[in-house]
A and B are shown apart, each in its own frame.
Chain A
């Protein structure tokens, strides 16, 4: 299987995504114990919107982040292509 090294943009975009997703994990756990914090729910929803846009952009360039019907694939099947997260 071909394993070309990723370009600088890959790491840049990946980290941007990690930034948003981390804030979402933090807010998610917080909201699990603070379900009535409206302001945090609004922040969660806003970040989810931004995250969705960023993930779309990332996946256009580097293939699907999720499988099982959560992202589209180009031809040939992109999901099982290297590299995997622990390899980059």
Chain B
């Protein structure tokens, strides 16, 4: 799950000014969900078992995009070791 989420994450390093008043964030991230790489869903894509489909919010693994809360993440080192 973690790997899938990080594969859908993009990041950039914003310019850090010498007079920034607050501790700067060295890299910022955003999500590109898998829907951006599908123009038209092909037929017969593999499906999740129905129970899991409800839990995850889609019937098809190809459309699934995990997202974990970033609450408290900024206080920690950016190696992504936040506990959840």
List chain A residues, Cβ under 8 A from B54: 15, 18-19, 22-23
> In the complex, which range does the number of interface residues on chain B fall in?
10 to 19
Instruction: Please pick, from A15, A22, A27, A37, the residue contacting B43 in the complex, using a CB distance under 8 A.
Output: A37
What's the A-B contact tally at a CB cutoff of 8 Å? 30
A24 to chain B, nearest CB (A): 10
With an 8 A cutoff between CB atoms, is A39 at the interface? yes
The answer to whether residues A26 and B51 also contact, given A34-B41, A39-B44 and a CB cut-off of 8 A, is no
Interface of B is mostly: loop
B53→A30 contact, CB < 8 A: no
Contact yes or no, B43 A20, CB < 8 A: no
Given known contacts A34-B43, A39-B44, A40-B43, what 18 new A-B pairs fall within 8 Å (CB)? A19-B50, A20-B50, A22-B50, A22-B53, A22-B54, A22-B59, A23-B50, A23-B53, A23-B54, A26-B53, A26-B58, A26-B59, A26-B60, A27-B59, A30-B59, A33-B41, A37-B43, A39-B43
A-B contact pairs, 19 of them (CB 8 A): A19-B51, A19-B53, A22-B50, A22-B53, A22-B54, A22-B59, A23-B53, A23-B59, A26-B53, A26-B58, A26-B59, A30-B41, A33-B40, A34-B41, A34-B43, A37-B43, A39-B43, A39-B44, A40-B43
